[in-house]
Structure 1
Amino acid sequence: MVDADLSGSGFFRVAERNGVFWLVDPDGGRFLSKGVNTVRFDQDRIAGTERVPYADACRTKYGNLQSWRTAVSQRLASWEFNTVGCWSDELVASTGSRLLATAPITELGASFRLHRRDQIFPDVFDSEFWAHIRVSADQRCRHRHNDPGLLGTFVDNELYWSPDWRGTDELLTLFLNLPSHRPGRIAAISGLQAHYREISQFNAVWRTRARSWEELGRIEHIVAPFVRLRPGAVNDALETKANLEDPAREAFSADCDAFAAVVADKYFELCVSAIKAADPNHLVIGSRFGYQPLSGVIAAAGRHLDVVSFNCYDFDPGPVIDAYAATGKPCLISEFSFRGDDAGLPNSKGAGPRVATQTERAQAFEGYVVAALSKPNVIGYHWFEHADQPVQGRFDGEDSNFGTVTIDDQVYGELTEMMRKVNAAAERIHAAAVAAAI
């Protein structure tokens, strides 16, 4: 659908119209990104083996990879999806009768972190970080710079920003416990020294035995004096109460929040700059937050990104969307899903809610997407994922009913019919978002 007051630029961009954010396609049409992740023939090896049961089934069913691509592309379009999401075979996007958009991931920060095995979060203060991401962005983005089908580029996926399901560490304590020569540790101590001035004032909060800032830099392991809950509405209220009762805890929290905001600002500034240098034509669509991080991190993302992306495995995404929409930027839900316990899979490991039946699964999709589209900042939603996971578990043990199809490529009829229905109505629902929010 082409609106008279929107113009095509040859590439996807974002626009706000009547208080509602939209993507604008290369020809000037309003666009909501309705995507599916991990659309690939070789999805999910069984952990510890080379077996890919989905590929085995599709090889028998379709005969070859190209026939599978065509069939899957046509099928996604028939369900009114228009985007092939993360970790997908991008050739699927151009194989059917309708061109689908692509949304690849560069994993800039993650690739540097893996290069530095002592890091849980990439050391953004390291000069080699900037050198690494410039080269990586050039290798991964430059060849796409003239691609009109590219929706935008994700920077990373689910980096560790603050306490979450993976642990209780703060970014500040992670950086304080890097090896003493690492730039990130030096930056963390310098920031604390600038704030406290005297080591005694620092120790009153952090309870270390260091007698000088130099000695603090030599301590092998600095233990956090407090453990905070992961961010979120209920936990934030509990943390506020705890801070009011203990000034030292409040000071510790402020230290952690301030440092995370500095790290986030540097991370997003450098990564977006690297991608834009390699590909100035396309959107940078976020780092797929795995869990709602601290407000300073969200604010930093909003300052640098074209689109803020996040994964949200709740029944109602509304409160999480509101937290990210505070940036004033458009938002993309880069992962969500529901698992049905009638699918014959263990569903013992994997994100998000479990429901009893495929009927409830379809209803959960409808409720979630309608709620998301009622928010004016939302410009898309990507379902995780195309096919079910192996009953034996994939590389990380996940064994869940996340698919639009079974591992034998049989379509979940109730779910996909609901997807077709909601996807077809998405623009109409979203156009009424401001009125619904008042």
Structure 2
Amino acid sequence: MRRRIVIAAIGALLVLCGRATAGQFRFWIAAQRDWAKNTGFCLAFEDASAEGPCRLDDGMRFVLAVADGGRWNYAFYDGRLEADHTYQVKATIGPKSFGFWIDSQCAKEIEAGFAPTNDSLLINHRPQGYTDEADYIFVPIAMTVTHNETVFRDIEFPSAERTVPEFLVADYLPSESLSLPLELAADDTLVIESRIKIIRRPSLADHAPYVDAYGQWRHDDWPGKVRSDEDLRNRIAEEEKVLADWPAPSGYDKYGGCVEAGWKQEATGFFRVVRRDGFYWLISPEGHPCFYVGLCGVGLDADTRWPPTSVTGRESFFEWLPPREGPFAEAWMPNAWGHEGVDFFLPITANLIRKYGEPWRTRKNEITFRRMKAWGFSGGGKWARQNPDPIAFSWMVVLNRAGIPVLVRHPDVFDPNVCEVFEKHLAQQCEQYRENPWIIGLSLGNEDEELIHKGDVEKILAMAADVPAKRALVDHALTTLYGSDMSKLAEAWKVQNAASIETLYAAEPSVSPGDAETLRQFYADRYYAFVYQTIKKHDPNHLYCGFWIPGWRAIWGYSADWKIISRHCDLIGYDHYAHDFAHETLVKMMAETDKPVLCGEFGYAPSYDARRGFAVRTNWGEVRTDEQAGREYQRWMALAAENPHCVGAFLFCHHDQSCLGRSHGKELALQYGEAYAWGLVDVTDTPKWDYVRRVREANLTATAQRLAATKAAAGNK
């Protein structure tokens, strides 16, 4: 018996901690292990199939692995597993033996020692490198962890309450994956009791429609869910009561400048930036200091024409779709995102039409303006549209370069003909904004679309000899990197028979990563310089804020671009979706460049445990509720207000995206593109009060926090 266990242990060790294959599925119910040191334990559910997708009736099993310091010992449950069954899994690990039970039946008990490790206890963990493709879903219901007869954790998981269709939205919730500190000694006893349900992966066709007549997820319920047109209209009076108790804050000019700061600058009629006692400040057109808190996606048609969700091919997903003509025509948008022949629908617009009646657009603009003021926002942010007086507000312009020819992803700013066309296009846009005092500043494009990627240079160098950008890159490399020595460049780039500069222009070189990065930065510098100089030439009145460099890109892989763009803007506009206002690397770059910065987008999209149909963000942790989103906002905004370089930030955004997504795809899918609950307002135009209250509190104290930080800095000099 002992020998068979050892043999099984060797095989299982290769499976559990070896290299994953395409078909392997792993789910660690509970684990605290160091494979290399032969310490710890792992209670897991595994499918060791060689090919995917994994199937419930093919090789699925529970396994308990316990290490004694010299090797791993394994116990398996190889009984047939069934769908739609909740399994009671119990594991007991002691100093001299271990075992586990399935539905109160002993699967295996083994006499063996236990050598603990004090790494974190992982619960409901999916190790990296394994497939998610399976015809089943593993649903954690509850778990109790007992350490030496004392309950260490007693947990009920949100997935226990989810309906089957909601596992199409997310088969795994990050909030259910826990990492807990737990110190174990060699003579301790640990008991893990877990309830786990296995369900068949639901079919997309079996649960349509997915959204109701108001664009809400059909397969669950929650407080405040709209069920009728009357519910929609009743929300108007409910909101009026709240707004009556939340008047627009006093002490600010119409642009968001603080008139009670105790100091003022010259009124120039436009936003600008000054530095006072080491802190940068926006100065309003009337001369008052402003820590600007903005809201993206507001004004005119900004929140009624974007972003739509695709209907074509997914008609069955909608419980109701309005007529394409008549009052609801504006809720339809054909060919959005460049998808010819695809109809798109805007649930928010259909709801606004039913909620406010005619003139619904005017009433919508009025209530949005009142919301912004009552909620403590200075004005709009990106993706906004200016309302007419008397409900005008300040906002940020994002220019475009639509129709301008590109080489790889950007125009060739070394080509005079391209530059002429590009300048004319920018000048036409600047002309309509040049004298507008409501505009905070100008920017061009957004995030990744303006970033020069690392592979762009290699593609340009593979082009024909007459491409101006290629010639400029070769010239720069020759003079800067190789001291004008053509033979050295030719050798480094593996160019044969380089008798002249024309030979180098015509070649398709093999460029080292270091050379490519140097040339990428050179190209970026020239591109950003052209854009900045051109925009300032045609609009000297407004701040230029760059292209909203993604903070996550600046941290990982493109830190040089933060420095490059700092030379070609009045303030650095960046976007940063994260729990913290600024990663330590970003804070360091802010200090090194010593420029004012403005965050153009940040935000928190509650997952609601996937029970409202929205996608679940997994890249930096899950925000589960509106209340949690509000707390995150408060912390983020307080840190921003106290940072000497930050002059403001824009929350993304006014209303939620559709839970069915905002794009279109070639294959049928429940969600296309982003499908997040970013908004302060949901798809029925109902404010999320648990979120809004906390946002308002943060907004109303942000300027005072910055003034206090400035005063403290001045006092410490």
Pairwise TM-score range, normalised by the shorter structure: 0.7 to 0.9
- After superposition, the Cα gap between the structure-2 partners of 1:188 and 1:276, relative to the gap in structure 1 and judged at 3 Å, is same
* Amino acid across the alignment from 2:534: A
- After superposition, the Cα gap between the structure-2 partners of 1:433 and 1:9, relative to the gap in structure 1 and judged at 3 Å, is same
Q: How does 1:10-409 map to 2 (within 5 A)?
A: 10-39=269-298, 40-47=303-310, 48-63=342-357, 64-91=360-387, 94-96=389-391, 99-108=392-401, 111=402, 115-116=404-405, 118-158=407-447, 159-161=449-451, 169-194=454-479, 195-196=481-482, 197-198=484-485, 201-202=488-489, 206=493, 208=494, 210-212=496-498, 214-219=502-507, 225=512, 252-253=513-514, 255-290=515-550, 291-292=553-554, 294-318=558-582, 319=584, 320-342=586-608, 344-347=612-615, 353-395=621-663, 397-409=673-685
Cα deviation for residue 262 of structure 1 reads 2.5
Cα deviation for residue 27 of structure 1 reads 1.0
Provide Cα deviations, 1:279-317, integer angstroms capped at 9, x if missing partner: 221111221112316444323322231111001111113
Q: Is the 8 A contact 2:277 2:713 kept in 1?
A: no
Q: Is the 8 A contact 1:388 1:407 kept in 2?
A: yes
Tell me which structure has the larger Cα radius of gyration: 2
RMSD after superposition: 2.7
Q: Is the 8 A contact 1:308 1:324 kept in 2?
A: no
Cα deviation for residue 66 of structure 1 reads 1.3
Q: Is the 8 A contact 1:313 1:353 kept in 2?
A: no
Q: Is the 8 A contact 1:35 1:82 kept in 2?
A: yes
CA distance in 2 between partners of 1:398 and 1:266 (Å): 33
CA distance in 1 between partners of 2:614 and 2:492 (Å): 46
Identify, as 1 or 2, the structure richer in helix: 1
Secondary structure at the counterpart of residue 381 of structure 1: strand
Give unmatched runs, 5+ long, in structure 2: 1-257, 311-341, 665-672
* Amino acid across the alignment from 2:627: T
CA distance in 2 between partners of 1:286 and 1:297 (Å): 11
Identity %: 23
Secondary structure at the counterpart of residue 601 of structure 2: strand
CA distance in 2 between partners of 1:139 and 1:162 (Å): 25
Deviates more, 1:416-425 or 1:2-11: 2-11
* Amino acid across the alignment from 2:691: L
CA distance in 2 between partners of 1:202 and 1:432 (Å): 57
CA distance in 2 between partners of 1:258 and 1:162 (Å): 12
* Amino acid across the alignment from 1:84: G
In the alignment, does 2:699 pair up with 1:423?
Answer: yes
CA distance in 1 between partners of 2:617 and 2:496 (Å): 43
- After superposition, the Cα gap between the structure-2 partners of 1:271 and 1:52, relative to the gap in structure 1 and judged at 3 Å, is same
Provide Cα deviations, 1:350-392, integer angstroms capped at 9, x if missing partner: 9865312222211111122222222101001011121111122
Scaled by the length of structure 2, the TM-score of the pair is 0.52
Cα deviation for residue 216 of structure 1 reads 4.8
* Amino acid across the alignment from 2:529: E
Q: Is the 8 A contact 2:465 2:502 kept in 1?
A: no
Cα deviation for residue 349 of structure 1 reads 7.3
- After superposition, the Cα gap between the structure-2 partners of 1:348 and 1:129, relative to the gap in structure 1 and judged at 3 Å, is farther
Secondary structure at the counterpart of residue 351 of structure 2: helix
Secondary structure at the counterpart of residue 309 of structure 1: strand
Give unmatched runs, 5+ long, in structure 1: 164-168, 226-251
Secondary structure at the counterpart of residue 401 of structure 1: coil
Identify, as 1 or 2, the structure richer in strand: 2
